[in-house]
Chain A
Amino acid sequence: DTEVTQTPKHLVMGMTNKKSLKCEQHMGHRAMYWYKQKAKKPPELMFVYSYEKLSINESVPSRFSPECPNSSLLNLHLHALQPEDSALYLCASSQTGTGKTGYTFGSGTRLTVV
């Protein structure tokens, strides 16, 4: 298995809703990442988990809450989002956690906040 699987593929939520994005990989990668990507923009790093511990939080608002239940799973909990949070949310993983062998990205969750 050489994939990162993200669910759901599409999500529409209201500003008062609570939802979660899920990410799963079975490549034995020990680093996992959340990125946010707006249309025609580069991916922006949000969070890094290394060996199931949060190692980097890029000053992301608290309405985004990451969780890493185990080495294969990564969640992003969403609460009280704003319309400007609408974007493609990408999960990625890497073998060594150093990026030298590249990140494997999932196909993303396209989130619309209404």
Chain B
Amino acid sequence: GQSLEQPSEVTAVEGAIVQINCTYQTSGFYGLSWYQQHDGGAPTFLSYNALDGLEETGRFSSFLSRSDSYGYLLLQELQMKDSASYFCAVLNRDDKIIFGKGTRLHILP
């Protein structure tokens, strides 16, 4: 089977930096994606890592360590609009994306 673990909730202060971790177990791993979903909205693609290392896209960065089956999403200069749920998602050789349970990010002013 396959499983993904990420914290259920994280709280941070506006302007700060926050890291959301994800560990996974899966067969035929291709890569790790991150999606953002606001309440009542659709999931929005943020990033994809297939190789070890850090990918940066503006205020958001994503990291992958294939040997550790671990990744994280780093959000910098937090803004109130970043309050949302963040899902890590594994792409496997069956060409399926399986989502983790999601991390609810609360941002305090």
Binding site for B on A (CB under 8 A): 31, 40-45, 48, 50, 55-56, 90, 92, 97-108
B99 within 8 A of A: yes
Interface contacts beyond A98-B91, A100-B31, A102-B48: sample of 11 additional A-B pairs, CB < 8 Å, sorted by A = A31-B95, A50-B95, A55-B95, A90-B43, A92-B43, A98-B95, A99-B97, A101-B48, A104-B45, A105-B44, A107-B42
B42 touches A99 (CB 8 A): no
A21 to chain B, nearest CB (A): 14
A90 touches B95 (CB 8 A): no
Most buried by B among A42, A50, A104: A42
Q: From DSSP, what is the main secondary structure of chain A's interface residues?
A: loop
Which residues of the other chain, A, contact B91 by a CB distance below 8 angstroms?
98-100
A105 touches B42 (CB 8 A): yes
> For the complex, what is the distance from the CA of A1 to the CA of B103, rounded to whole Å?
30
Which residues of the other chain, A, contact B43 by a CB distance below 8 angstroms?
43, 90, 92, 103, 105
